[in-house]
């Protein structure tokens, strides 16, 4: 049987998140309020892995990073380096298109206070693993934050302690490390409003990460 890459809209596997979802549906009945599917092509050269939908961002819009501050930094930066086209307008029907790129989250349902538990991260990883199994051309993965970094590595059966997270740190994961081809994992601080407001991450620092991804994709294609 083919692996499932998209959770059911009533996925019950994380009871706390299912209860939160139910409450949000009652409070915001005209919003998306379901596991947020990935955005972009199924078989990309660049995969961006975030943490989880924001309550009034992706959880409302139904598209990762769409409608909250993080998307305001992520999507124009991807476009600047040729990974997207069109105008990002914070709406899932804005026509903004990713080019050979996919954006997903380690956890598909919005968690209270943006904090999924370890069990919830582990529970949702099978969807990331299923996505990865369909990617035969993947060249670069950008992990936005330590949870995305760790969950991506665990999805490949790797031990995160062997790959310490740090902004702009990058690791070449070789076939022996769980992939059928080498992939460059690049870490970035999450492009959240909090990180930008505290200057932990600047637009320039984030551009450096995406530029590295572009450079590696170009090198791999040469
Ligand atoms: S976070 Fe993932 S595994 Fe948990 S309920 Fe949502 S879709 Fe299901």
CA 206 to ligand 1 centroid distance, Å: 28
Q: What angle do CA 185, 112, 95 make, to 5 degrees?
A: 60
Give the global pTM: 0.96
At 1 the pLDDT is: 39
Ligand 1 and 111: CB distance under 6 A: no
Sign for the CA dihedral angle at 43, 124, 142, 66 comes to positive
At 3 the pLDDT is: 54
10 in a structural domain: no
Domain that residue 133 falls in: 34-221
**Domain tally, the chain:** 1
Q: Tell me how far apart the alpha carbons of residues 213 and 103 are, in angstroms, rounded to a whole number.
A: 14
CA 50 to ligand 1 centroid distance, Å: 15
200 in a structural domain: yes
Segment 29-57, tens digit of pLDDT: 999 999 999 999 999 999 999 999 999 99
149 in a structural domain: yes
For position 217, which CATH number holds? 3.40.470.10
Ligand 1 and 155: CB distance under 6 A: no
C-beta of residue 140 within 8 angstroms of C-beta of residue 218: no
Ligand 1 and 124: CB distance under 6 A: yes
Nearest to 88 by CA among 103, 105, 67: 67
Ligand 1 and 131: CB distance under 6 A: no
């Amino acid at each position: 049987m083919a692996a499932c890459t998209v959770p059911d809209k009533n996925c019950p596997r994380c009871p706390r998140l299912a209860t939160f979802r139910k409450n949000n549906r009652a409070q915001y009945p005209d919003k998306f309020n379901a596991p947020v599917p990935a955005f972009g092509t199924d078989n990309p050269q660049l995969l961006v892995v975030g943490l989880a939908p924001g309550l009034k961002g992706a959880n409302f819009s139904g598209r990762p990073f769409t409608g909250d501050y993080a998307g305001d930094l992520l999507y124009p930066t991807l476009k600047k380096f040729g990974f997207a086209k069109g105008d990002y307008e914070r709406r899932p029907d804005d026509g903004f298109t990713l080019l050979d790129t996919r954006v997903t989250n380690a956890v598909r349902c919005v968690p209270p206070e943006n904090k999924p538990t370890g069990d919830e991260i582990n529970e949702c990883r099978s969807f990331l693993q299923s996505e990865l199994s369909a990617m035969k051309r993947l060249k670069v993965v950008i992990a936005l934050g330590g949870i995305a970094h760790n969950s991506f590595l665990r999805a490949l059966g790797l031990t995160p302690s062997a790959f310490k997270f740090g902004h702009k740190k990058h690791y070449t994961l070789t076939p022996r490390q769980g992939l059928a081809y080498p992939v460059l994992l690049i870490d970035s601080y999450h492009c959240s409003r909090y990180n930008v407001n505290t200057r932990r991450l600047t637009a320039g620092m984030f551009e450096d990460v995406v530029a590295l991804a572009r450079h590696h994709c170009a090198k791999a294609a040469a």
